[in-house]
Structure 1
Amino acid sequence: MPNFYPDMPTGLNDSITGAISSDGSPELNKHYTLPARTGVAVRLEAGQSLIVVNPTGTQVCDFWAFNPSNLYEYLSMSHCRTALASVVPTVGDILVSNARRSMLTLVRDTSPGVHDTVIAACDHARYQQLGCKEYHDNCTDNLRQALKSIGLEAKVIPDPFNLWMNVPITSAHRTKWAAPVSRPDDEIEFRAEVDVLVVMSACPQDVTPVNGENCAPSDLAYRVTLGGNA
């Protein structure tokens, strides 16, 4: 049966115990590792910047942001596409919530800028469709667990901003799965325009080449600064 309960993980992994603090508040300028196949929740105050690093260059990051005072308000890909008149945000773009409120500004991107706003987060049902018989780590459960690890429960499962995910849209309006074109140690930086709760998942996809031609998920890294490049 599909899992229609936003707060209930279908299975568990280290995301449930991987909180960086009791409420997700980071140490500024500390370099954190997000292990492959897991998720984490990180609080940002308005004006702080989050830098996400792709050490291998091949790892996709499913990226969400929520209003920490109301988890029903979240970074919305459909509202971003409307506001930006584009399917891929670029440097200088402001990313908005489902209330059309500014949440984050994309201030720096050292990669070629290929990201995805179209594809839903992987979940248990998706891996079953791909032929997996047993439970498979997935970004949806990583989101649920990352929130639970800081005492919160998911109210909805928004479509993520899939950092470094390469999903070409063909002239026939079809999509296909391709390996990332990002490079080792590429970084993307977001400035919080308001207080936000970010959740990131180092996508566990190892069936399609989403995480590179060798289909091998790898670690991500991140740090939070007072703003500006660091």
Structure 2
Amino acid sequence: MLDTTVSPLPTSVTDNGDPVGHNRSDREPIAPDGWPVLGQRYEVPARHGRAVRLKQGQAIKIINTHGLQVCDTWAFKADDLSEFMSMEHARAFIDRIIPQPGDPLVSNRRRPIMTLLADTSPGVHDTLIAACDAYRYQNLGVHEYHDNCADNMRLALKAIGLRAREVPQPFNLWMNIPVGADNGIQWLPPVSKAGDHVVLRAEMDCVVVMSACPQDIVPINNKQPVEVHFEVLASA
């Protein structure tokens, strides 16, 4: 049964690593230690998160199974989660707001942690929008706990015995947030098709976390969150 409780905020907040609520993301890892079977296809269930370990040189293929699902994606250095894939640093490194195949994705220490190798979609992704969280849904008028990408990341890491002190800006795969001439943005459904995928190569040992975004208020998932899938490849 879905846990809809919302944890009260602690009186003294020292970091941003604890979930505000819970779902099954912390109880259903792909493996207790996060190591995948190479080439096996895994599911990230709708509204939930999964974490997987990659060795340097391995690649992850993330698949938009139905075509209309956003997948918030993070990468953390395996032995030091204070270093992570950083969209604000990546934008400065590649001089654009949406990565293209061949672009390195750098960490908050400005060195490549992953490289975008392939993208079969039209290439519309987002690097501007923070992961949805419980407070985002409160702002949207949802008064009970709502699954969210920030908690999915925290819970997916917890499921394999890890904890990050913050929730970085994710690489929002297939999220369609066009920026207009007036600098305004729109929240639109993905333009990808079923089966589109990206391939990301690990440039260091890392932990990749994915959230099949639970957003069902604004139309970024066509208001119908569904599952995505992934595979870890031996090399790329």
TM-score normalized by the length of structure 2: 0.93
Match of 1:226 among 211, 231, 234: 234
* Secondary structure, counterpart of 2:108 in structure 1: coil
The answer as to 2:213 corresponding to 1:216 is no
Match of 2:81 among 65, 71, 76: 71
Partner of 1:143: 153
The answer as to 2:132 corresponding to 1:122 is yes
Partner of 1:104: 114
Match of 2:36 among 26, 29, 34: 26
Q: Per-residue deviation at 1:224?
A: 0.4
Cα separation, 1, equivalents of 2:37 and 2:136? 35
The answer as to 2:167 corresponding to 1:178 is no
Question: Which is worse superposed, 146-155 or 119-128?
Answer: 146-155
Cα separation, 2, equivalents of 1:18 and 1:164? 25
Cα separation, 2, equivalents of 1:62 and 1:18? 18
Q: Which runs of 5+ in 1 are unaligned?
A: none
Query: For 1:170-226, what per-residue CA distance to the aligned partner results, in whole angstroms no more than 9, with x for missing partners?
Result: 0011111011001001010011111111110000000000102xx100000000011
Partner of 1:54: 64
RMSD of aligned residue pairs (Cα, Å): 1.1
Cα separation, 2, equivalents of 1:148 and 1:2? 19
Letter in 2 for 1:168: P
Match of 2:210 among 190, 193, 200: 200
Query: For 1:96-150, what per-residue CA distance to the aligned partner results, in whole angstroms no more than 9, with x for missing partners?
Result: 0000111111111000000000000000000000010110000000011011111
* Secondary structure, counterpart of 1:188 in structure 2: strand
Question: Which is worse superposed, 157-166 or 144-153?
Answer: 144-153
Partner of 2:5: none
Letter in 2 for 1:216: Q
Give me the identity figure in percent: 50
Q: Which runs of 4+ in 1 moved over 3 A?
A: 1-5
Cα separation, 2, equivalents of 1:189 and 1:2? 38
Letter in 1 for 2:23: N
The answer as to 2:169 corresponding to 1:159 is yes
Letter in 2 for 1:219: E
Cα separation, 1, equivalents of 2:130 and 2:21? 19
Q: Per-residue deviation at 1:16?
A: 0.9
Q: Per-residue deviation at 1:7?
A: 2.0
Q: Per-residue deviation at 1:156?
A: 1.2
Partner of 1:187: 197
Cα separation, 2, equivalents of 1:45 and 1:71? 15
Contact 1:6 1:144 in 2 (8 A): no
Aligned length: 226
The answer as to 2:25 corresponding to 1:15 is yes
Cα separation, 2, equivalents of 1:224 and 1:152? 20
Query: For 1:55-95, what per-residue CA distance to the aligned partner results, in whole angstroms no more than 9, with x for missing partners?
Result: 11000000000011111100000100000000000000010
Partner of 2:4: none
Contact 1:2 1:125 in 2 (8 A): no
